[in-house]
């Protein structure tokens, strides 16, 4: 009996649908198998590193059984198996087999274009070559790995490359670069949770420091012990027996150098015992691994035969399905199609709801941002006063000590303190005015200055920090540069302090070079190339993209290890842009960094450096200031003492009031010639006190002596009755010049 054509057509659809579902099920099963295989191999790698070799062998065997059950995935997954075997063989010192396995893995990964896995395999091969005492070959494969990882922006595996480069440097007896590689790697390894390599890097950093001490006759015992303790803590937590063994050996050497011979002997005995345990484990594992391979070959044949039979049965079942089953399948397909349409409509409705919600969230976020901006402004205003007040004490006391005929060596220290205080004030100003800086609202001053002297002042202020870090500072200065230039020397010094300070902070036992070269010179203008280079830990390619952003640091671990707010380079970038220049960076992890910029200055015709940053001509008759009666209104006792001493040192008669209320009373009862008024005080503020004094005395000069930021409040101060404003901290010359000018102007009235 012939079936109608429509029924043949329906039957064909049923069969095709059944095959499609069968294929989908098979593909899903295959994906699950790949995932399980990778989990087995990851476990095997962890077991290998923690010396649970039996478990590692078992996991590898399980992975191989699953791989051979799916022939089309065998080739690519075999690369992972060879890689894992290579790792295990390397750890048990079977370098010949490890080499064979890793070469197979490299071949498979290369053919399959699995670039990240290829880079990791190169890394593993480099470790094997290092153990075989072939550092040159190892360096070549690490270079291959690094190139791939840089292209992929893979900072995680790049940290392992850095560790291996440190090991290569140790083989070459290049101990300082080795330390740099390990210091650059350790924070990243911690960040990406690589305990084995983190412990390995710490241990070899200690080893490099030991060798470095022999070459330089320096003592890094505290750093060495810290590195050993970090390595052992991690190794004991994860049972890295080989690293525990090496830690005993290195610590024994430290004890010998410290002449603690009983401790050295005890540690060396621990090293011998742990090492014996390791050797026995290696021998036992080597024999087991050979046996496992033999059994796996036999099992693979059995599994392959069973798999072929299973596939044959599955095909028979598929072709023997009944019409009812096929009809059910079609119904399921149609139901799924209807469900899909329903879901699409539902998803569209949900998407619309989400867009509405997101719009509301954006509006709320905008309102929060505006409130945060107001809170930030209030915070900066408060912190401005809190920072400037103690800084006034520092700069004021420094001035008084310099005026007290100090010894020559004390004078040198006080000058450095004064210089650092001035630039700390400049830095605080830029931090507090960061929004203005980024909006290009900060003005650039133009004064005459000696560039070489400015750079030497910066180097002097940082010399102590550099010495503590065992660093050497070098200045290479082009002497054909004109002696006197016109520009903002304070901001240029701040740029150099940030760049050189960063170099000092991220370099240990190394060198920092400051180079200034002339590019071109015209009759009234000179262009310069300025660079700051170090051979410290360097900056990764990934972090170089964000390092100039506000509050940016290399990583949280780097912030904890080296300190800093991450604000310095952002300030440098903004300041240079204001000065029509641009900061540039060249860096490589473990090899150091170089920051550079080109900048132009006008050539000054003055023969002397202008020490007045605001371009004020100080015309002060100090004799005219003698015996002038002056009232200082200030609630801070330390600031009272400093201001009073500065005034009395110049033979002025000084009285002090703690608050605005008492100040008003004292002005009524005494014949003062000048008032210095603080703004923030208990009771009434300095502004209110000035307004009340102006009600009965219109002519007495009142100067605001305040730590409050006043850039946006000048009109308010003058309306209140102030004649002049002196921001704290101040330069003594500016301080007396403003007092003298206020008195002189009063006489003209």
Cα 123 to Cα 110, 416, 537: the distances in Å are 14, 49, 20
Q: Note the pLDDT tens digit of each residue in 456-508.
A: 988 987 888 888 888 999 999 999 999 899 988 888 988 898 899 889 988 88
Q: How far does CA 137 lie from the centroid of its chain?
A: 32
Instruction: Give the single-character DSSP code of 69.
Output: T
DSSP letter (8 states) at residue 523: T
What is the pLDDT, as a whole number, of residue 300? 44
Give me the sign of the Cα torsion angle 365, 438, 428, 711: negative
Query: What is the three-class DSSP state of 581?
Result: coil
Domains of the chain: 31-147+285-320 (1.25.40.10), 154-258 (1.25.40.10), 444-603 (3.30.565.10), 622-748 (3.40.50.2300)
- For the beta carbon of residue 342, count every other beta carbon within 10 angstroms: 10
- Report the alpha-carbon distance of residue 256 to residue 468 in Å, rounded: 26
Report field, pTM of the whole predicted structure over 0.75? no
∠ CA(686), CA(692), CA(695), 5° rounding? Answer: 145
Q: CA 15 to CA 18: how far, in whole Å?
A: 5
Phi (first) and psi of residue 636, to 5 degrees: -80, 120
DSSP for residue 508: S
Task: Tell me the C-alpha distance between 664 and 644, whole Å.
Answer: 19
The token pair at 614 is 């605001």
521 strand-pairing partners: 526
The kind and range of the H/E element at 449 are strand 447-450
562 phi and psi angles, rounded to 5 deg: -105, -15
Q: Per residue in 374-384, is it b (16+ CB within 10 Å) or e — as a string?
A: eeeeeeeeeeb
The pLDDT, as a whole number, for residue 624 is 85
Report the chain (749 residues): mean pLDDT per 10 consecutive residues. 52 51 49 79 87 86 79 68 90 88 90 89 92 90 90 89 91 88 90 92 90 75 88 90 88 84 84 80 67 38 41 40 51 62 64 70 72 62 62 72 77 75 65 58 78 90 84 93 89 88 87 94 92 89 75 44 55 86 89 92 68 49 88 88 87 91 92 90 88 91 76 69 83 84 74
For 405, counting Cβ atoms within 10 Å of its Cβ (0-12 exposed, 13-18 middle, 19+ buried), the class is exposed
């Amino acid at each position: 009996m012939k079936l109608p054509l429509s029924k043949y057509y329906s039957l064909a659809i049923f069969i095709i649908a059944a095959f499609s579902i069968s294929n989908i099920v098979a593909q899903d099963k295959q994906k699950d198998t790949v995932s399980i295989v990778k989990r087995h191999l990851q476990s095997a790698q962890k077991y290998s590193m923690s010396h649970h070799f039996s478990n590692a062998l078992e996991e590898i065997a399980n992975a191989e059984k699953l791989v051979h059950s799916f022939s089309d995935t065998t080739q690519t997954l075999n690369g992972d198996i060879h890689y894992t075997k290579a790792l295990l063989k390397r750890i048990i010192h079977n370098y010949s087999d490890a080499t064979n396995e890793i070469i197979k893995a490299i071949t498979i990964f290369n053919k399959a274009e699995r670039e990240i896995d290829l880079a990791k395999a190169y890394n593993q091969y480099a470790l094997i070559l290092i153990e075989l005492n072939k550092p040159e070959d190892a360096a070549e494969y690490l270079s291959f790995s690094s190139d791939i990882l840089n292209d992929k922006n893979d900072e995680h595996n790049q940290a392992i490359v850095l560790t291996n480069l440190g090991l290569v440097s140790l083989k070459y007896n290049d101990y300082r670069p080795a330390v740099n590689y390990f210091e650059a790697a350790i924070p990243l390894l911690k960040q990406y949770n690589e305990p084995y390599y983190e412990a390995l890097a710490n241990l070899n950093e200690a080893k490099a420091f030991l060798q470095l001490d022999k070459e330089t006759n320096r003592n890094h015992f505290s750093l060495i012990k810290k590195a050993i303790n970090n390595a052992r803590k991690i190794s004991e937590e994860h049972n890295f027996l080989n690293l525990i063994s090496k830690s005993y050996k290195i610590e024994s050497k430290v004890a010998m150098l410290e002449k603690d011979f009983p401790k050295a002997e005890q540690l060396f005995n621990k090293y011998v015992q742990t090492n014996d345990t390791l050797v026995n484990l290696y021998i036992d594992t080597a024999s087991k691994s050979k046996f496992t391979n033999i059994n796996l070959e036999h099992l693979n044949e059995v599994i392959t035969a069973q798999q072929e039979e299973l596939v044959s049965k599955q095909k028979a079942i598929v072709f023997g399905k009944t019409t009812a089953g096929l009809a059910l399948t079609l119904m399921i397909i149609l139901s799924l199609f209807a469900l899909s349409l329903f879901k699409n409509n539902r998803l569209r409705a949900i998407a619309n709801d989400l867009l509405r919600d997101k719009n509301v969230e954006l509006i709320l976020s905008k309102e929060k941002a505006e409130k945060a901006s107001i809170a930030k402004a209030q915070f900066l205003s408060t912190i401005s006063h809190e920072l400037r007040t103690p800084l006034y004490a520092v700069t004021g006391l420094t001035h008084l000590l310099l005026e007290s005929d100090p010894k020559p060596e004390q004078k040198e220290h006080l000058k450095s303190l004064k210089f650092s205080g001035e630039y700390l004030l400049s830095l605080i100003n830029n931090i507090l005015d960061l929004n203005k800086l980024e909006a290009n609202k900060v003005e650039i001053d133009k004064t005459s200055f000696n560039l070489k002297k400015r750079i030497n002042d910066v180097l002097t202020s940082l010399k102590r920090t550099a010495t503590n870090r065992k660093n050497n500072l070098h200045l290479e200065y082009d002497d054909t540069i004109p002696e006197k230039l016109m520009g903002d020397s304070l901001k240029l010094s701040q740029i150099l302090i940030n760049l050189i300070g960063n170099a000092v902070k991220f370099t240990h036992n190394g060198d920092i070079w400051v180079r200034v070269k002339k590019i071109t010179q015209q009759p009234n203008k000179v262009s310069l190339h300025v660079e700051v280079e170090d051979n410290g830990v360097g900056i990764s390619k990934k972090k170089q993209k964000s390092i100039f952003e506000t509050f940016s640091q290399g990583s949280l671990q780097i912030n904890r290890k080296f300190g800093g707010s991450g604000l310095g380079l952002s300030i440098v970038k903004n300041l240079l842009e204001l000065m029509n220049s641009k900061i540039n960076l060249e860096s490589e992890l473990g090899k150091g960094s170089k920051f550079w910029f080109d900048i132009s200055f006008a050539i000054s015709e003055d023969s002397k450096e202008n020490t007045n940053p605001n371009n004020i001509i100080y015309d002060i008759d100090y004799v005219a200031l003698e015996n002038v009666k002056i009232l200082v209104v200030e609630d801070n006792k330390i600031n009272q003492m400093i201001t009073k001493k500065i005034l009395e040192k110049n033979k002025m008669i000084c009285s002090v009031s703690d608050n605005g209320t008492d100040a008003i009373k004292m002005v009524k009862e005494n014949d003062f010639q000048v008032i210095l008024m603080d703004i923030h005080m208990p009771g009434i503020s300095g502004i209110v006190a000035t307004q009340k004094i102006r009600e009965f005395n219109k002519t007495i000069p009142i100067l605001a002596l305040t730590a409050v930021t006043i850039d946006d409040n000048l009109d308010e101060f003058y309306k209140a009755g102030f004649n002049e404003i002196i921001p704290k901290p101040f330069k003594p010359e500016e301080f007396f010049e403003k007092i003298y000018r206020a008195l002189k102007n009063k006489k003209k009235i």
